[in-house]
Amino acid sequence: MQRIFTAIASTIAGFSGRPLAFVLALGCVVAWAISGPIFGFSETWQLVINTGTTIVTFLMVFLLQNSQNRDSSAIQCKLDELIRAVEAARDQFIGIEHMTDAELDEIRDFLEKENGDEGKDAVKAIHRLLGRR
């Protein structure tokens, strides 16, 4: 069941971000708008677009969230592997994505303080590199 859902979610999420999906959605809206005079701009005519967009939005939220969760998990696994593989890296950072926001803020503050003035130099270096574009 999970593999089937993952395959479907990945396919739909991939398609929904393509220009063709936008063109098809736009075509549906244009066809609906053009059909307005035919149906006398009735409540039923309005209900069609409202219901359609609500259903599509509702389902897309779940599909896109699933896709984003998988991507985030994959990135975390890759980062954890890099931490594990680099001898000088601190293994304690593996799995910190499960900590609370307050705990993560505390770690970030500690790391920034630990870096000291080098952090300011790093910001200058980044701005200098971005200025080369």
Q: What angle do CA 8, 13, 18 make, to 5 degrees?
A: 130
Burial of 32 (0-12, 13-18, 19+ CB in 10 A): middle
**Rounded Cα distance, 69 and 85, in Å:** 24
Digitized pLDDT (tens) for each residue of the chain, 133 residues in all? 889 998 998 899 899 989 999 999 999 999 999 999 999 999 999 999 999 999 999 999 999 899 899 999 999 999 999 999 999 999 999 999 999 999 999 999 888 888 776 656 777 777 777 887 6
